[in-house]
Amino acid sequence: MSTSAQKATAAPVLPLSVAALQAKFDASPFIAFLGLQVVEANAANEEITVRAPFRPELERGGGTGQWHGGPIASVIDTVGDFALVQLLGRGLPTINFRVDYLRPAVNTALIVKAKVRRNGRSVGVADVDVFDERGTLLAIGRATYATLSAT
């Protein structure tokens, strides 16, 4: 195997750094569309914090400044997944997730914090809290991911 081929297939250095996680975000057209920014990644505590900027394309109704629930759910799923990605180095398929919307998110970026609750051989679970920029809790989520490697 050539040196360039070895580099292309080399396993990632774990846990993934903020820069490595952001590079994975930026490589995904959907995540890039959401504009997610990794603020902090703490592998020792199995936590990640991400900022999601507000844009009119994500509004519930034109001119309301209120986030639509769909993008909030997408952010919860993505950030929960990446709490595990920082530990495992690869994206994981979602098995299930749920969201409880507690208050509307209006004219604010979202600050999203995920905590790994289980990083098992076949299943991982993350809890996700969504805050506005003032620290008010807006939504909570829990997601389950398949952690079995395809290889």
| One-letter identity of residue 142 | R
Q: Tell me whether residue 1 is in a domain.
A: no
Q: Alpha-carbon torsion 96, 45, 37, 130, what sign?
A: positive
41 within 8 A of 79, measured Cβ to Cβ: no
First CA to last CA across the chain, in angstroms?
19
Angle between helices 69-88 and 18-27 (to 10 degrees): 130
- pLDDT averaged over every residue in the chain: 94
Q: Report the domain count for the chain.
A: 1
The pTM for the full model equals 0.91
Q: Three-class SS of residue 87?
A: helix
Q: Tell me whether residue 5 is in a domain.
A: no
Q: Tell me whether residue 35 is in a domain.
A: yes
Q: Tell me whether residue 81 is in a domain.
A: yes
Using alpha carbons, select from 54, 49, 106, 40 the residue that is nearest to residue 80: 49
Position 145 pLDDT exceeds 90:
yes
Give the pLDDT confidence score for residue 8 in this predicted structure: 54
Q: Tell me whether residue 49 is in a domain.
A: yes
Structural domain boundaries enclosing 59: 12-146
Using alpha carbons, select from 139, 49, 147, 48 the residue that is nearest to residue 94: 147
Q: Tell me whether residue 42 is in a domain.
A: yes
pLDDT per residue as tens digits for the range 61-81: 999 999 999 999 999 999 999
pLDDT per residue as tens digits for the range 114-137: 999 999 999 999 999 999 999 999
Q: What is the CATH number of the domain that holds 131?
A: 3.10.129.10
| Phi, psi of 78, rounded to the nearest 5 degrees | -65, -45
Q: Tell me whether residue 16 is in a domain.
A: yes
Q: Would you tell me how many other CB atoms lie within 10 Å of the CB of residue 115?
A: 16
Give the pLDDT confidence score for residue 86 in this predicted structure: 98
Q: Tell me whether residue 4 is in a domain.
A: no
Give the pLDDT confidence score for residue 11 in this predicted structure: 76
Q: Provide mean pLDDT across the span 76-102.
A: 98
Give the pLDDT confidence score for residue 117 in this predicted structure: 99
Give the pLDDT confidence score for residue 12 in this predicted structure: 82
Residues 6+ apart with CB under 8 A from 98: 141, 142, 143
Confidence label for 3 from pLDDT (cuts 50, 70 and 90): low
Q: Provide mean pLDDT across the span 54-61.
A: 96
Q: Three-class SS of residue 97?
A: strand
